[in-house]
Chain A
Amino acid sequence: MAAQNLKHALFCAVITLIISYPILGFNLEAEGINIILNGAETSTIVMVFLAAVVVFLFQLFRENIMATLKSIPTPLPQANKEPMAENKRARIESWVLTAIVVLALFWPFFVSRGSVDLATLVLIYIMLALGLNVVVGLAGLLDLGYVAFYAVGAYTFALLSEYFGISFWMSLPLGALLAALFGLVLGFPVLRLRGDYLAIVTLGFGEIIRILLNNWTSLTGGPNGIGGIPEPTLFGMEFGRRVKEEGNTSFHETFGIAYSGEDKVIFLYLISLVLAVFTALVIRRFMRMPVGRAWEALREDEIAARSLGLNRTAVKLTAFTIGAFFAGFAGTVFASKQGFISPESFVFLESAIILAIVVLGGMGSQLGVILAAIAVTILPELAREFSEYRMLIFGAAMVLMMVWRPQGLMPMRRIHIELKKQE
């Protein structure tokens, strides 16, 4: 027993060294045009070895340590509480959600421009994740090319404004509808595939769209992207310092206030907020409608669902199309927020991040997905100081999540349906 422990502990310590020494123990420094490999400072190396020793000791005495930890009584206040009544819980939940939305409405007026900008990005990711949640979480179709629909939405707006001068508000439904159309057209041949095969084909589709945008230089500007995408207007009022388009007025002049660059950012944030809330509410309704139940039934057991008269293709297509629709929404907002888009913004990594959000949040759970979207977008910003280790931290967080909460932050909960007793 002891010998085995010792072996295991040694092994763990060596692994620690192997992993951390090359990352932390060397520094690459530029000297003129050459790059020179230097050893890190002594203190860092000492720390690395210290870490290895700690790992060694912990693994050696793991059983004792765990036993001591277990013997400490943990107070569990909820342990002997009854679960809350279903309707009461639902009421409290909806109150809390309303309060959060109201808070979110006023919050941007008190914080910095940077935070509002970041919050807008968070809202865009929330829209994307809610849309993908329909496809992956509810309908169980693994879609690795979701970013393609996001790109379609963004480029629709960019191209329409570039060539036809069409405004944000006109493009918003158009971008979403065009993305939905792409979803429909792609979905049709692809949905007879299942699982891994579907994932690969959607992955390919995502890349095709990106490469197409990259190479169709005459239309999309290729890797140079499209710039000068207009910001949304409020009833014909522009938020810039000077009015760009004939016939528009400017916001600050109409209301007689001093021009402030923040107005524009806040306005975009509010639009995103409204759209995100709209997305959440609409999808929430869908989940409780026949179509939502059909999605889940098909995910649970396709054969049984078909034997009960569900049309597999139609049901899967609605999921795919609706998911794509909301990605188009998010894309339009994104294009407007950035003012410039290029194929760079729609790489596979984006798809992977959105998928990670859905999985982290808990497949099918709206609240979970929203929380995860916030966490995944904000954490890297907070961790900017450790920028070199950001991906490392992200990966570690993913692994830990999968170990402790494989079902996600907030797993989906079934709605309770009251039945009237029949005579």
Chain B
Amino acid sequence: MLEVQNLSMRFGGLLAVDQVSLDVQEHEIVSIIGPNGAGKTTVFNCMSGFYKPTGGKILFEGGEVQGKPDHKISRLGMVRTFQHVRLFSQMTVVENLLVAQHRHLNTNLIAGLLKTPDYRKREQKSLDRAAYWLERVGLLDLANREAGNLAYGQQRRLEIARCMVTEPKLLMLDEPAAGLNPAETKELNRLIVSLKEDYNVSVVLIEHDMSLVMDISDRINVINQGRPLACGTPDEIRQNDDVIKAYLGEA
């Protein structure tokens, strides 16, 4: 469903991403790994529309999306999280989820002022969906807390829930396990797998936690210094000499 062909991104004299290609099939978890500064997040930023790539193509469900504005890409069903949690921290947990459903709501100002039946129906539906996902990530009791007051692990889960209420087809997670303890990482592992199995969402994952990556990925892409280094199943990657030298290290 997603195909990235020869993606390049140049910042002045720096070629941050050089001819990276990857593809994601439906119902698949694909990881991108590599040393810090390898250009993984830059690839994400190009895919989600924050950067306009200087070369290459990004096809989502057959249509070219490179260079489109970010909010349009997200409306197509490609939604991302961030390396550092980016919640609306002064808004409550529910409000965070309601904002995410903006495009499913009746945003006509007059309809809202008059509370037309359609407006109320959609508003209720979005509340139900929010409640469902809060229950799913175990935050229902904290629904009216300010998001900034949650514990770090809870904020991470809220961020994923906030993506899921938009009903995405492809979820891009940027280091979701960063800063989590082993128990929380395990929980995250189960959550991501269930997103794929139960909600039919494809996942692109950037992560440094190798146990998580090896455990849940269907395929792995390795990037080093902006260039693609290897691509394959977890087992193949584990055996690959180049990858061991550049990133995994000798055991």
Contact = CB atoms under 8 A, between A and B. Distances in A.
Interface of A: 282, 285-286, 289-291, 293-294, 296-297, 300-301, 303-312, 318, 414, 416-417, 419-422
B99 A311 contact: no
16 contacts: A289-B109, A290-B99, A291-B107, A294-B102, A297-B91, A297-B99, A300-B90, A304-B82, A306-B70, A307-B86, A311-B71, A414-B144, A417-B127, A419-B131, A420-B127, A422-B132
A290 B90 contact: no
Contact of A420 (B103, B106, B131): B131
B224 to A, nearest CB: 27
Given A300-B89, A414-B91, A422-B135, A307 B102 contact: no
Residue among A296, A297, A312 with most chain B CB within 10 A: A297
B91 A300 contact: yes
A297 B88 contact: yes
B203 to A, nearest CB: 16
B58 to A, nearest CB: 16
A307 B48 contact: yes
A420 B70 CA distance: 33
B8 interface: no
Interface of B: 48, 50, 70-71, 74-75, 79-80, 82, 86-92, 94-95, 98-100, 102-103, 105-107, 109, 112-113, 127-128, 130-132, 134-135, 140, 143-144, 146, 162-163, 166
Contact of A417 (B95, B132, B163): B95
A309 B135 contact: no
A310 B140 contact: no
Nearest to B96: A297
A291 B50 CA distance: 23
Nearest to B146: A414
Q: Which A-B residue pairs are the 6 nearest by beta carbons?
A: A304-B86, A300-B88, A289-B112, A309-B74, A419-B131, A297-B99
Nearest to A312: B71
Contact of A308 (B90, B128, B162): B162
Say what secondary structure dominates the interface of chain A.
Answer: helix
Contacts of B88: 296-297, 300-301, 304-305
A417 B144 contact: yes
A396 to B, nearest CB: 30
Contacts of B71: 306, 308-312
Contacts of B135: 421-422
Given A285-B113, A293-B91, A308-B74, 7 more contacts: A296-B99, A300-B87, A305-B88, A307-B86, A311-B71, A414-B95, A421-B140
Contact of B102 (A286, A310, A318, A416): A310
A417 B105 contact: no
Contact of B128 (A290, A291, A304, A422): A422
B143 A308 contact: no
B87 A310 contact: no
A419 B75 CA distance: 26
A274 B98 CA distance: 32
Nearest to B148: A300
Contacts of B163: 308
Say what secondary structure dominates the interface of chain B.
Answer: helix
A294 B131 contact: no
Contacts of B74: 306-309
A420 B100 CA distance: 19
Contact of A414 (B75, B92, B127, B132): B92
A422 to B, nearest CB: 4
Contacts of A422: 128, 131-132, 135
Contacts of B113: 282, 285-286, 289
Contacts of A310: 71, 99, 102
Given A301-B87, A303-B50, A414-B95, A308 B102 contact: yes
A416 B146 CA distance: 11
Contacts of B146: 414
Contacts of A282: 113
A51 B6 CA distance: 76
Given A300-B89, A312-B71, A417-B95, A291 B112 contact: yes
A282 B113 CA distance: 7
Contact of B166 (A296, A301, A308, A318): A308
Contacts of B109: 286, 289, 291, 318
A194 to B, nearest CB: 16
B87 A308 contact: no
Contacts of A285: 112-113
Contacts of A309: 71, 74-75, 79, 100, 102-103, 166
Contacts of A294: 99, 102, 107
Contacts of A311: 71
A420 B89 CA distance: 23
Given A312-B71, A414-B91, A419-B130, A307 B80 contact: yes
Nearest to B76: A309
B81 to A, nearest CB: 8
Contacts of B112: 285-286, 289-291
Nearest to A414: B92
B204 to A, nearest CB: 14
Contacts of A417: 92, 94-95, 127, 143-144
B99 A293 contact: yes
A308 B86 CA distance: 11
A310 B86 CA distance: 15
Nearest to B126: A290
A419 B132 CA distance: 10
A296 B88 CA distance: 8
Nearest to A416: B144
A131 to B, nearest CB: 15
